[in-house]
Structure 1
Amino acid sequence: MAVSFYSIVVDAHDLPPLARFWCGVLDWEVLYEAEEEIVIGADNDALPGITFVPVPEAKKIKNRLHIDLAPDDRDAEVERIVGLGARRTDVGQRADVSWVVLEDPEGNEFCVLSPKNSLID
């Protein structure tokens, strides 16, 4: 049986601004937009994508799953992403870690790592 990673789904209160924030972070585009769903990706044929769906409840606890970003220059990307609307956050990480924890405009945590060349680097 073959399977591929298709999309990560993000619950959101205000889909359009959150989808556009992530488009700015990843240099992706909105591929599909409806009232109940927005899909973003690098292009129609590049997997995976991110799908935003509406939920009525507010986020209450730290995410159990999060996105890790691996830029060429961690500090420059952190500043760029903060300029797009992210905020630094503390999820209990030590002060000497090599990544920066941010949260998107709706409070979803994600990490900006030091440069990586492989999954085990």
Structure 2
Amino acid sequence: MALEWEQVVVDAADPQTLAHWWAEALGWTVVGAEPEEYEIRPAPDRLPGLLFLRVPEAKGGKNRLHLDFRPDDQRAEVERLLALGARHADIGQGEQRWVVLADPEGNEFCVLGDRLAT
């Protein structure tokens, strides 16, 4: 038996807006657009993707799953993401080498240290 990782599903109040935000943040492409769900991928034929589904309830508490990103330049990438609408998030991480941010709907993700410094 074989499994292929297809996508990560993200609950969203506004899947269209959040999908477009993440597509811009990651430089990905919207490959599926319906009123209740939007999918983005690195390229139309590349997996895995992120699928944003409309849900009625608001996010509550810290994410049980989050994404980590390793940039070439952490400081520049954090500044770019903040300019796009991310915000700093405190989930009790204390002082760390990584930076915890949240997307416009409050989903936390980490920007790790510089790729070249690891």
TM-score range, shorter-chain basis? over 0.9
- For residue 94 of structure 1, what is the aligned residue in structure 2? 94
Shift in Å, 1:32: 0.9
Shift in Å, 1:16: 1.3
SS at match of 2:23: helix
- For residue 106 of structure 1, what is the aligned residue in structure 2? 105
1:74 aligns with 2:74: yes
- For residue 83 of structure 2, what is the aligned residue in structure 1? 83
SS at match of 2:33: strand
Looking at structure 2, the residues matched to 80 and 35 of structure 1 have their Cα atoms a distance apart, in angstroms, of 28
Looking at structure 1, the residues matched to 36 and 18 of structure 2 have their Cα atoms a distance apart, in angstroms, of 13
Looking at structure 1, the residues matched to 79 and 39 of structure 2 have their Cα atoms a distance apart, in angstroms, of 26
Q: CA RMSD in A?
A: 1.2
SS at match of 1:4: coil
Shift in Å, 1:45: 1.4
Query: Gapped runs of 5+ residues in structure 1?
Result: none
**One-letter code aligned to 1:111:** C
What does the per-residue CA deviation read over 1:44-86, in whole Å, with 9 as the maximum and x for residues that have no partner?
2111000000000001110000000111001100000011110
Looking at structure 1, the residues matched to 4 and 69 of structure 2 have their Cα atoms a distance apart, in angstroms, of 20
TM normalised by structure 2 equals 0.95
Looking at structure 1, the residues matched to 19 and 43 of structure 2 have their Cα atoms a distance apart, in angstroms, of 14
**One-letter code aligned to 1:50:** L
Shift in Å, 1:4: 1.5
What does the per-residue CA deviation read over 1:24-58, in whole Å, with 9 as the maximum and x for residues that have no partner?
11000111100121000111211100000000000
Looking at structure 1, the residues matched to 67 and 27 of structure 2 have their Cα atoms a distance apart, in angstroms, of 15
1:38 aligns with 2:35: no
Shift in Å, 1:17: 1.1
**One-letter code aligned to 2:103:** D
Q: Percent identity?
A: 52
1:59 aligns with 2:59: yes
